């Protein structure tokens, strides 16, 4: 099963992708998480990506497409994968389609999580992410058992650098201009499914599993 997640920053792509990955046993591939891991390890890719991410801009396609095409060719992705945060531009979607075409494959489901901009700005302020394993929480809607500490690995939870309100607004603008055209792209491909992302996390997941099957 090959799935992509679409939706604005903070729509809940990562939250749902993680649940899908666990239920269906396919790897969760988040380009944002890959870039953040590179920033943490101070790699060349991390240094380049940080310049764009901190400004709320997209990392250039040249740094992103090959990385994902290579990742989905790894053995653990042979039975499928869930892509979270990729594609984000039409050239990225075309690169993905071409890479899959070469293997006589295609995306099965494009899951679009819809949330109005006003709700998003509010959500991002409450998000906390683990510095070590990348797990995501929300101070109100998905709180950790112990404040400021990751349930999974016990490390510190932080506010992401790009979750400041002014950067969130910029990321939303980038989403509307560069990523939203993908809704039409995947509608035309016949695989787009829209979900109301303002509902409760588990309720959204139940609707997604109705689509993907048990
Ligand atoms: P990325 O890490 O992908 O960030 P994003 O798309 O901006 O999305 P987020 O991770 O912020 O939100 P999400 O939809 O995953 O929501 P979450 O589940 O965490 O990318 C970061 C940056 O990297 C980009 O800006 C760009 O610079 C670069 N980048 C990455 N991929 C790229 C690419 N392909 N090309 C170029 N550049 C790229 O949920 C948000 C919060 O809400 C959480 O606190 C969560 O607990 C809570 N929540 C979730 N669902 C609900 C719900 N139903 N109700 C209430 N609260 C909820
Ligand atoms: Mg995410």
pLDDT digits (tens, 9 = 90+) for 75-95: 999 999 999 999 999 999 999
108 secondary structure, DSSP code: -
Show the tokens assigned to 61.
């396609």
Q: Is the pLDDT of residue 202 over 90?
A: yes
Q: What is the mean pLDDT of the chain?
A: 95
Q: What is the mean pLDDT of residues 170-176?
A: 96
Dist CA 144 CA 140 (whole Å): 10
Q: Which residues sit with their C-beta closer than 6 Å to ligand 1? A: 7, 9-15, 31-32, 35, 52-53, 57-59, 64, 85-86, 88, 92, 123, 126-127, 136-138, 141-142, 162, 171, 197, 199-201, 204
Q: Is the pLDDT of residue 149 over 90?
A: yes
How many other C-beta atoms can be found within 10 angstroms of the C-beta atom of residue 138? 18
Task: Give SS3 for 34.
Answer: helix
Dist CA 160 CA 151 (whole Å): 18
Q: What is the mean pLDDT of residues 87-109?
A: 97
Q: Is the pLDDT of residue 131 over 90?
A: no
Q: What is the mean pLDDT of residues 130-147?
A: 92
Q: Is the pLDDT of residue 165 over 90?
A: no
Alpha-carbon Rg for the chain in angstroms: 16
């Amino acid at each position: 099963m090959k799935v992509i997640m679409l939706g604005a920053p903070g729509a809940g792509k990562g939250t749902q992708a993680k649940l899908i990955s666990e239920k269906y046993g396919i790897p969760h591939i988040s380009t944002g998480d890959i870039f953040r891991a590179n920033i943490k390890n101070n790699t060349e890719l991390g240094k380049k990506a940080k310049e764009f991410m901190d400004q709320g801009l997209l990392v250039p396609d040249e740094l992103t497409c090959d990385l994902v095409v290579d990742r989905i060719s790894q053995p653990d992705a042979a039975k499928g994968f869930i892509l979270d945060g990729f594609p984000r531009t039409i050239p990225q979607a075309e690169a993905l389609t071409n890479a899959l075409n070469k293997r006589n494959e295609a995306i099965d489901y494009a899951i679009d999580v819809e949330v109005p901009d006003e709700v998003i700005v509010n959500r991002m302020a409450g998000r906390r992410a683990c510095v070590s394993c990348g797990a995501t929480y929300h101070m109100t809607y998905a709180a950790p058992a112990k404040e400021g500490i990751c349930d999974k690995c016990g490390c510190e939870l932080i506010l992401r650098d790009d979750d400041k309100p002014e950067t969130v607004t910029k990321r939303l603008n980038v989403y509307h201009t560069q990523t939203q055209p993908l809704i039409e792209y995947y509608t035309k491909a016949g695989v787009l499914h829209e979900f109301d992302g303002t509902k409760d996390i588990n309720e959204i997941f139940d609707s997604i599993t109705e689509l993907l099957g048990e």
